[in-house]
Amino acid sequence: MKQEQLAVFIEQLAAAEHDAARQIEQAEAESATRLHALKDRLEKERQAALNELEAALAVEEQQQEEALQHRLQCMEKESEEKADEMRKRHAAIKDALVRWAVKNVVQP
């Protein structure tokens, strides 16, 4: 009887071991599936954040370029205005010098 009980116990132990191995395999498969899903979700979140960052960078770059263009236009306008002012002053000084020369040199 003891031999039979031992055989039954060994069969039950083998069955339990088989069930445990199947449950472990199933848990590993489920874990791998969840891990894959988590990796996919994290990759999508990373890509979305990267896209958002790239879009923000593109907007900022465009704004900076527009600001620089505006500054350049203002500087060009200011330079042209100063050049015109200098031309007018030069013309006025030249006219005054010609009048002085005519008055003092030509008609003493």
What is the per-residue pLDDT across 4-19, written as a single tens digit (0 to 9) for each? 888 889 999 999 999 9
Q: Give the residue numbers spanning the domain of 24.
A: 1-79
In a domain, 24, yes or no: yes
More confident residue, 41 or 94: 41
Within-domain flag for 59: yes
Helices of type H across the chain: 2-101
CA distance 79 to 86: 10
Q: For the purposes of burial, counting CB atoms within 10 Å of the CB of 103, is it exposed (0-12), middle (13-18) or buried (19 or more)?
A: exposed
The number of folded domains in the chain is 1
62 vs 99 pLDDT, higher one: 62
